[in-house]
Amino acid sequence: KAGVTQTPRYLIKTRGQQVTLSCSPISGHRSVSWYQQTPGQGLQFLFEYFSETQRNKGNFPGRFSGRQFSNSRSEMNVSTLELGDSALYLCASSLGPPGASSYEQYFGPGTRLTVT
Amino acid sequence: AQKITQTQPGMFVQEKEAVTLDCTYDTSDQSYGLFWYKQPSSGEMIFLIYQGSYDEQNATEGRYSLNFQKARKSANLVISASQLGDSAMYFCAMREATGNQFYFGTGTSLTVIP
């Protein structure tokens, strides 16, 4: 079974631009979560989608948005990029829905975004 | 309050020795899951082990075991017979049954010395 895939793996953008990152979960997984990882802030939760609905959202500005498609694939978008958005963006999929505390998340390799 | 606390920013262990990575958690839920992940320098997070709050026995997965002390709200990861490939960041995480997201600790950087 294929793992979680994320595209692109690396991205360089300039301030003010927008970016869209893509995530394909493990086949059969309907829950997709996004995280931002930086050396200073660690791993921070962005949002979680299940069955095309955003179920949880972290404490990020509205410039960060996401969506999930009927095939469970997910995209996240960051508009008006700032230097501080430079980070590793990780996507994780899970078999269980929110509320199912026993289901582990499986992570993709991440997209490393650099904003100049 | 922090949901997950990892108090050891960095740890060193001799190859073939055992090492314990500490994790404490905070929740008022009765039902929750505890997880450990490994993140090598390549960046990908690798799931290692899971412990449910109602599990009476400590979880084990190969060389990994989770020392679960519910009353103390601790979920320490024990790696036996350390290998050079164990050098990585290790994250403790929790998910509550009340439907919220995974909470991650700040991680512990483990270095295995030959």
Size of interface A-B (CB pairs under 8 A): 64
Contact A68, A57 (CB under 8 A): no
Helix or strand or coil: residue A26? coil
Residues of A in contact with B29 (CB under 8 A): 101
Structure confidence at residue A116 (pLDDT): 97
Going from the C-alpha of A78 to that of each of A17, A54, A113, B15, the distances in angstroms are 9, 16, 11, 43
State whether the Cα torsion B61-A108-A72-B36 is positive or negative. positive
What is the signed CA dihedral for A89, A34, A101, B106, rounded to 10 degrees?
Answer: 40
Spatial separation of the C-alpha atoms in residues B20 and B102, rounded to whole Å: 22
Residues of B in contact with A107 (CB under 8 A): 37, 44-47
DSSP conformation class of B100: -
Structure confidence at residue B100 (pLDDT): 66
- What would the pLDDT profile of B102-111 be if each residue is shown by its tens digit? 899 999 999 9
Residue B71, token pair as written in the block: 């009353």
Residue A9, token pair as written in the block: 């793996």
Average pLDDT, chain A: 93
Phi, psi (degrees; rounded to nearest 5) at B109 = -90, 115
**In chain A, positions 38-97, which contact chain B (CB-CB < 8 Å)?**
42-43, 45, 48, 55-56, 58, 88, 90, 92
Contact B95, B101 (CB under 8 A): yes
Give chain A's residues under pLDDT 70.
1, 98-99
- What would the pLDDT profile of B40-99 be if each residue is shown by its tens digit? 998 889 999 999 999 989 999 999 999 999 999 999 999 999 999 999 999 999 988 876
Instruction: Reply yes or no on whether the pLDDT at B1 is more than 80.
Output: no
Residues of A in contact with B103 (CB under 8 A): 45
Contact A95, A103 (CB under 8 A): yes
Structure confidence at residue B101 (pLDDT): 76
